[in-house]
Structure 1
Amino acid sequence: MQVLCCDDDFECWRSQARQLLAQNVPPHDVVWEDERIPQLFAAEPAPAYAATASTHRVPAELLGQLKSAARYRTPGRWNLLYRILWRVVRGERQAMLAGDPDGSEMHRRIKSASREAHHLHAFLRFHPLPADEQLDYVAWHEPAHDILASASMHFAERLGRQRWLIATPRDGVWFDGKQLHYRQPCPPEWLARAEAVRGKDDALWETYYASIFNPARLNRKVMQGHMPLRFWKGLTEGKLIPVLLSQARAGSQKDGQAVGVAGKTGKVIRLMKDRVAAGGPATTQALSNHSSTGDS
């Protein structure tokens, strides 16, 4: 059995898979070593394969699916992808469909990786660096899957020429205002910049979040479904959420207002029936005339 390593890089795996297909190496005769969980035997470099006249046509749709599924971080992920590739090039196109056991697992991984990309967009918090000459914003994030490289252009499209850095335990991206630079593993200097602002307070954002929090609409189960607990520690407002949840359970959920909002003074707007009662007959007559015209 051949034991290979692609360093969790799709293009490297693709090159290795192409060589294996050219030599007709079946899936059960090759295994990819996980980067963090080595196999019992040391990984071997792929041998220099001789070029063959045979070519294998791979549907463009399958190539996109394999690339998306490769972002799902799990031991043995590359073995499944090669098995699906092997089956499809030999005529078993059902291997790429959700009705097939292998295809079903591939589509599940694609969906999970896509959801993790959404989590990156929703739960990443940039911190401004007004005194830094090289960066405008920096952020720390801990995704469950390898989606940083593919999902980071979302921020470049929205922040314009602003310069920013996102660091994770595995990789990092730096946008210099014109070009996106991806590094795996994340360089130590990038990690140091992100660690410096990790968990940093932001009084303005915390005030905004506490003000818009609506205890009357709180559904803890749904909230945790959309905002998993693993992200709370990385959110600027993360330390506020348990307090706001506790206050909601303690009674603020009944009147739909947090304590800080309920205690503020403001203009009282009376209901129509209260205005009629306070205004007397003249107001009652005016309301009657208004109704008789057909207005509402």
Structure 2
Amino acid sequence: MITVRFDGSFEAWRGHARALLLGLVPPHEVNWASSEESAGLFDDPPHDRPIESSQQVRVPRQLLDELEMAARCRVANRWSLLYRVLWRVSQGDSTARLVGDADGSELHGRIKAVRREAHHLHAFLRFNPIGASDGPEHVAWFEPAHDVLPWAAEHFAERMGDNRWLIATPDDGVCWDGQALYYARPCPPEWRKLASEAKDPGGDLWKTYYENTFNPSRLNRSVMESNLPVRFWKNLPEGLLIPQMMSRARAGAQRDGQSERVASKTGKRIGRPSSETN
């Protein structure tokens, strides 16, 4: 068994994977371990340097794109599946890329999870203005389930123009200076502090608006939590309001079909008209 210890990046994995393919090392003889993982007591000596060779390993460009996307998915056997798919394709077994194959199904499942997490970042990340004369003008804190930040953050670089901004996560961070995107892993402590402690001056106004436009009669908890997972609530201004509004909806507001402030006002309740017979 060969233990390959590397820095956890796709580029480093790709270099080692190419060397192993040239050495005809099958997947079951390789133990992948990023430098972020502690060494095991019974680990074999690490295979630290790729084998130099003039030979080339030819695989479809689309496969490399798929492997790079799947590599962003945080799972226990992240790298072993990628090498197994790469090995099979290099040996002429193209079914390893198909959804109907066990490995292919897992590969595309990871790609789907990564793309969904990138959508979550775009939808639920909230920038807070800090009014800095130098450095970032807007900052945001986000806790992604997968390593999507450096890829998904390009979305904001395209849409925020020359505005300077910073996104920090527990693991990494990106900073846009209006011209270029800078990536840091691990996230610098000052970035984490700046992003996690920033407050939106319009947060109270937004919460008032959100609370008064909430329609309890249309509440469907399972659908809501599917589209807005609970793990994001704590970092959203309206997050603390959602459990309260859901509780009030179950307690009667859902029947009234309106907010508590409106339902408490005097007036005539209009019920369902009774059917008439001739």
Tell me whether the two structures share a fold, i.e. TM-score over 0.5. Answer: yes
Q: Encode CA deviations 1:149-191: one digit per residue, 9 max, x unaligned.
A: 1111111222221111111111111111111111111112211
Sequence identity (%): 52
CA distance in 1, matches of 2:44, 2:208: 54
Structure 1 position 49 matched with structure 2 position 51: yes
Aligned AA for 2:24? N
Q: Encode CA deviations 1:103-148: one digit per residue, 9 max, x unaligned.
A: 1100111111111111111111111112453121111111110011
Deviating above 3 A after TM superposition, structure 1's stretches of 4 or more consecutive aligned residues are: 34-37, 198-201, 260-265
In structure 2, the residue matched to 1:30 is 30
- 1:59 deviates by 0.4
Partner SS state of residue 33, structure 1: strand
Aligned AA for 1:50? E
Q: Encode CA deviations 1:50-101: one digit per residue, 9 max, x unaligned.
A: 314x322110111111011101001121111011001101100000111111
Q: How does 1:72-221 map to 2 (within 5 A)?
A: 72-131=73-132, 133-197=134-198, 202-221=203-222
| Aligned-CA RMSD value | 2.2
Structure 1 position 10 matched with structure 2 position 40: no
Aligned AA for 2:57? H
Greater per-residue helix proportion: 1
CA distance in 1, matches of 2:182, 2:265: 48
Q: 1:133 to 1:34 in 2, by over 3 A?
A: same
Aligned AA for 2:14? R
In structure 1, the residue matched to 2:272 is none
Q: TM-score, normalised by structure 1?
A: 0.83
Q: 1:48 to 1:229 in 2, by over 3 A?
A: closer
In structure 1, the residue matched to 2:244 is 243
* Paired positions, count: 264
- 1:24 deviates by 1.4
CA distance in 1, matches of 2:186, 2:25: 31
Q: 1:50 to 1:36 in 2, by over 3 A?
A: closer
Q: Between Structure 1 and Structure 2, whose CA radius of gyration is higher?
A: 1
Between stretches 212-221 and 79-88, larger displacement belongs to 212-221
Contact 1:3 1:32 in 2 (8 A): yes
CA distance in 2, matches of 1:214, 1:247: 11
Partner SS state of residue 32, structure 1: strand
Q: TM-score, normalised by structure 2?
A: 0.88
Contact 2:8 2:36 in 1 (8 A): no
Q: 1:13 to 1:129 in 2, by over 3 A?
A: same
Partner SS state of residue 6, structure 2: coil
- 1:20 deviates by 1.4
Contact 1:34 1:76 in 2 (8 A): no
Q: 1:241 to 1:200 in 2, by over 3 A?
A: farther
Aligned AA for 1:49? I
Q: 1:37 to 1:261 in 2, by over 3 A?
A: farther
Q: 1:209 to 1:43 in 2, by over 3 A?
A: farther
